[in-house]
Amino acid sequence: MKVSDAMTYEVRTALVTDPVSLAMRIMLGARVSGLPVVDGQGALVGIVTEGDLLRRAELGTERRRPRWLEIILGPRRLAREYVETHSRRVGDLMTTRVLTTEESAPLADAVALVEKHHLKRLPVMRQGRLIGMLSRADLMRAFLSTLPRDQAVTDVPDADIRQQIDQEMLRHPWITRSAIQITVQQGVVDLNGVVTNEVMHDALRVLVENVPGVACVNDKLSTIEPTTGYI
């Protein structure tokens, strides 16, 4: 899948000159936790999130430190914090270092970026212009769209189910196929045999459950942990 298959094309934005109160109203109305910030020409220049709005003088949540620590931090740091807690312009609060993704990028690459930097959303670009957003909610919707429609288990013959299970097992090197016995009857799969750890046990059950046509799995596998050393 590509980013374009999961992203939201309708995106709300804030202007760098907008008041903070307007950005808050937009976020609350659209039920989003962050807004891309654009300049007068529509170019992406930052992003403002709920996290940027936590420390506000109006709420009494600005940082308070002992005098000795303020001396160590220095006037530059303290002045910057004053702007962030007192300014009423979006441009003064926004985060200017914004990671983005391209509309045509593989979805897996965008997810890796979200995971690596602990992001909740990614602005999506096309030829240098903002065209949408990719959020974690978008990823959930994309996941749901990949799920097969419910079908009666009788739609899939037992022989086809067995063949599909065999093919899936051969694709994964963590399975010792010769140690597993499988029977299928009316969509019910009996799993017999031996695996060497509980994780493999769970993974094999999940593999079989995901095969189309499987109604249920009778898990009769035994787990035998390998021993090391000598007695």
Per-residue pLDDT tens digits for 169-185: 999 988 888 889 999 99
Could you tell me the two tokens for 55? 């420390």
> In the prediction, which pLDDT does 230 show?
46
Residue 153 has pLDDT above 60, yes or no: no
pLDDT per position as a tens digit, 56-98: 878 887 878 888 887 887 888 888 888 888 889 999 999 999 9
Judged by DSSP in three states, 210 sits in: coil
> In the prediction, which pLDDT does 116 show?
95
Judged by DSSP in three states, 229 sits in: coil
What are the distances in angstroms from CA 227 to CA 136, 197, 230? 43, 12, 9
Written as one letter, the residue type at 124 is V
| CATH classification number, 3-145, choose in 3.40.50.970, 2.30.110.10, 3.10.580.10, 3.40.640.10 | 3.10.580.10
- What is the domain partition of the chain in residue ranges? 3-145, 153-223
Nearest of 13, 9, 28, 44 to residue 141 by alpha carbon: 9
Written as one letter, the residue type at 140 is M
- The residue with tokens 């009666």 is 152
Topology agreement, domain 3-145 and domain 153-223 = no
- Give every CB contact of residue 1 below 8 A, 6+ residues apart in sequence: 106, 107, 108, 142
Fold of 153-223: Histidine-containing Protein; Chain: A; (3.30.1340)
- Please provide the average confidence, as pLDDT, over all residues in the chain: 88
